[in-house]
């Protein structure tokens, strides 16, 4: 059960397209459209209609497929309406008939009197269940907003963080110029999906693809570089923290240790990159993205380097070079 809610009316009004489209319309119970959906799962109420109401998940969206529909017709044919009447006494958010199944006037009348919205979709039961669970899971997913710039580099989602003025937007602009894509600038909304993935997008979709460049002002990335330079959302796979170079700080030079940042309970690899004049940050970030892709394929450059050094020492070549007086440099 989530602490977030969405009304049935909000669900009807959502502009869902493609593989998320629910294709739903309201048949009855419009006075109950303000009812709240509090769970991302759906329930098939076959057991409840048969009279078994123990552990009845009435707080979920109730989905009627061909099996439940046939059972309703059987009950009506036997003039046994008590199980149906009892069903509508529960605080149900809404009832959905899939595959364009048309409920009888008796069902619609009971729904109207109890204030339960009855919806209809042309999708099959399994497909509708998958889509609405996906949609509601995204809505109910834990979320927060962060200050940073979110870009996609070589297919890897990289969140650039750091103090204001360190050069996040300018670095992202150079990456866009080099053919990579912007997801969001300044305010990034992240959501934990399925408990192990962090999705990021602009907190405000109307302005998420605009960038503020000091000395230049606000620019529209989609207008300047085309729609191929933007993306609506992406999984956060690396966090890169840009910070002003600190002479007293020891920075990682080998990369054998992996640091992480906790995001909504999910550990995301964290890389700290010091910034100073002369450093080409876009190229460094591109290298970090490609290195991360290699890691997902099971190849770790730093570990291989370390192992090669150990093999070189164990082979005796290092001792020969040292005692033989050879100039290693």
Q: Which residues are catalytic?
A: 147, 168, 186, 253
Report d(CA 94, CA 22) in Å as an integer.
14
- For residue 172, give the nearest of 153, 199, 191 by alpha carbon: 153
116 neighbors 94 (Cβ within 8 angstroms): yes
Report d(CA 203, CA 206) in Å as an integer.
9
- For residue 281, give the nearest of 187, 151, 183 by alpha carbon: 151
Buried b (16+ CB within 10 A) or exposed e, 113-151: ebbbbbbbbebebebbbebbeebbeebbbbbeebebbbb
Report d(CA 174, CA 170) in Å as an integer.
6
Q: Which two tokens stand for residue 26?
A: 């309201």
Kindly tell me the number of DSSP H helices and DSSP E strands found in the chain: 11, 17
Report d(CA 262, CA 265) in Å as an integer.
6
- For residue 236, give the nearest of 163, 128, 312, 156 by alpha carbon: 156
Report d(CA 308, CA 301) in Å as an integer.
11
Report d(CA 319, CA 305) in Å as an integer.
19
């Amino acid at each position: 059960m989530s602490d977030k809610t969405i009304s049935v009316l909000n669900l009807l009004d959502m502009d869902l397209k493609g593989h998320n489209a629910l294709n739903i319309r309201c048949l009855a119970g419009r006075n109950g459209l303000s009812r709240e959906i509090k769970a991302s799962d759906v329930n098939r109420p076959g057991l409840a209609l048969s009279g078994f109401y123990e552990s009845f998940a009435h707080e979920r969206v109730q989905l009627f497929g061909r099996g439940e529909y046939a059972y309703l017709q059987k009950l009506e044919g036997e003039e046994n309406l008590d199980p149906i009447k009892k069903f509508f006494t529960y605080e149900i958010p809404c009832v959905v008939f899939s595959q364009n199944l048309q409920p009888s006037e008796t069902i619609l009348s009971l729904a109207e009197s109890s204030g339960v919205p009855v919806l209809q979709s042309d999708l099959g039961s399994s497909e509708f269940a998958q889509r609405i669970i996906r949609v509601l899971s995204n809505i109910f997913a834990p979320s927060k907003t962060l200050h940073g710039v979110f870009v996609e580099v070589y297919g890897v989602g990289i969140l650039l963080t750091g103090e204001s003025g360190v050069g996040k937007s300018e670095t992202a602009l150079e990456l866009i110029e080099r053919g990579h894509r912007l997801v969001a600038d300044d305010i990034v909304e992240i959501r934990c999906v399925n408990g192990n993935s962090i999705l990021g997008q602009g907190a405000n979709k109307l302005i998420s693809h605009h960038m503020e460049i000091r000395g230049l002002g606000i620019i529209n990335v989609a207008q300047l570089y085309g729609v191929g330079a933007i993306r609506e959302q992406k999984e956060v796979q690396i966090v890169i923290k840009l910070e002003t170079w600190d002479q007293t700080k020891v920075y990682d030079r080998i990369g054998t240790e992996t640091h992480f940042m906790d995001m909504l309970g999910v550990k995301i690899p964290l890389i700290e990159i010091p910034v100073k004049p002369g450093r080409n940050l876009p190229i460094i970030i591109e290298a970090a993205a490609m290195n991360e892709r290699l890691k997902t394929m099971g190849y770790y450059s730093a570990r291989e380097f370390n192992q090669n050094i150990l093999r070189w020492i164990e082979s005796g070549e290092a001792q020969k070079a040292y005692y033989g007086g050879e100039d290693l440099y």
